[in-house]
Chain A
Amino acid sequence: MSNLRSFEGLVTVREMPLRGMITLRGDTEVMTAALKSVGFELPERGMCNGAVVWMSPDEVLVQCPHESVGQTLAALQSATQSMHALALDVSDTRTVFEITGAATREVLAKLAPIDLRSAQFPVGKVRRTRLAQIPCAVWLREESAAEAIIFRSVAEYALGVLQSAAHPQAAVGYFASNKM
């Protein structure tokens, strides 16, 4: 993908390059073992440990370089061969937008009905919610950087609502990071 979309406003929003993504489903033991086989750990409930995103009690999203997704998938599949599990390449299913800047929490709070105060939403947390009218997984990667993982068909809508929320003259100043 050469035409990665981006804009600057209250925050900087950038579309991330295509990323290897694998849906892994299984019970905790199966997922733990399978992830271990590729050098990853099962994150705690509601967290992302960088590579692996917790999606639900029996599902994680494994992220890896796009080039190595076939290899990682094969490893996961072979590790779970004799178990009840599901591992699928879903690298093309989603689009990821990176949101950076002091107003990161604030821009997200205009679109998602979630409590983004730092005590309630620490760095590393993932929340599956809605971004305006579309499903979205919000991962707070750093204090001033988040990733919004959405379905690829609605990428333009997501960009549109983020752009509206990040209008340079639309600062709210609610969170400690950019209090007004």
Chain B
Amino acid sequence: MLILTCPNCGEAKDETELHAGGEAHLKRFGPGSSDADFEAYLFERENPKGVHFERWHCAPGCGKWFHAARCTMTNEVFGTYSAQTTEPPENIKDAITAKRPGWHWRQFS
């Protein structure tokens, strides 16, 4: 039962006040994309033991989406941040590096 702080309303939200939204930082592929790219976008997901980036929805709450960087093994939370970005911000990456030197996830490290 996680508690995550929504960066939009600033509240520490109980997991029962949140909806999980799967992996963060997916790049959308639409018409014109190759079958391989589109299928990867739809179906291929990371399933790491360790550092992971996820989307969460603050509902019932401020109704906004946000991202969380979390360790799937210990549930340590490295930080939460705006969903309106295509990659984790530097301060989040630094926080992870401080705790998990040498981490990498998809193209980020």
Min CB–CB distance A140 → chain B (angstroms)? 14
Give Cα distance in the complex from A162 to B8, angstroms.
Answer: 29
The answer to whether B48 has its CB under 8 Å from any CB of chain A is no
Which one of B39-47, B55-63, B100-108 is at the A interface? B55-63
Question: Are A46 and B11 closer than 8 Å at their CB atoms?
Answer: yes
The chain B residue with its CB closest to the CB of A113 is B14
The answer to whether B16 has its CB under 8 Å from any CB of chain A is yes
Chain B, interface SS category: loop
Question: Are B11 and A127 closer than 8 Å at their CB atoms?
Answer: yes
Min CB–CB distance B7 → chain A (angstroms)? 10
Q: For chain A, which range describes its interface: under 10, 10 to 19, 20 to 34, or 35 or more residues? A: 10 to 19
0/1 string, A128-142, CB within 8 A of B gives 1 = 111000111000000
The answer to whether B87 has its CB under 8 Å from any CB of chain A is no
Question: Are A45 and B9 closer than 8 Å at their CB atoms?
Answer: yes
Give Cα distance in the complex from A152 to B58, angstroms.
Answer: 21
Question: Are B60 and A55 closer than 8 Å at their CB atoms?
Answer: no
Given A57-B9, A130-B17: A136 and B64 interface contact (C-beta under 8 Å): no
Contacts of A113 in B (CB 8 A): 14, 16-17
Given A129-B60, A129-B61: A115 and B16 interface contact (C-beta under 8 Å): no
The answer to whether B10 has its CB under 8 Å from any CB of chain A is yes
The answer to whether B20 has its CB under 8 Å from any CB of chain A is no
Give Cα distance in the complex from A45 to B10, angstroms.
Answer: 8
Contacts of A57 in B (CB 8 A): 8-9, 62, 64
Give Cα distance in the complex from A114 to B12, angstroms.
Answer: 8
Question: Are A46 and B17 closer than 8 Å at their CB atoms?
Answer: no
Question: Are A128 and B62 closer than 8 Å at their CB atoms?
Answer: yes
Give Cα distance in the complex from A127 to B62, angstroms.
Answer: 9
The answer to whether A56 has its CB under 8 Å from any CB of chain B is yes
Interface residues of B in 51-99 (CB under 8 A from A): 59-64
Instruction: Give 27 CB contacts A-B under 8 Å.
Output: A46-B9, A46-B10, A55-B62, A55-B63, A56-B8, A56-B9, A56-B62, A56-B64, A57-B9, A57-B62, A57-B64, A59-B63, A113-B14, A113-B16, A113-B17, A114-B11, A114-B14, A115-B12, A127-B11, A128-B9, A128-B61, A128-B62, A128-B63, A130-B16, A130-B60, A135-B59, A135-B60
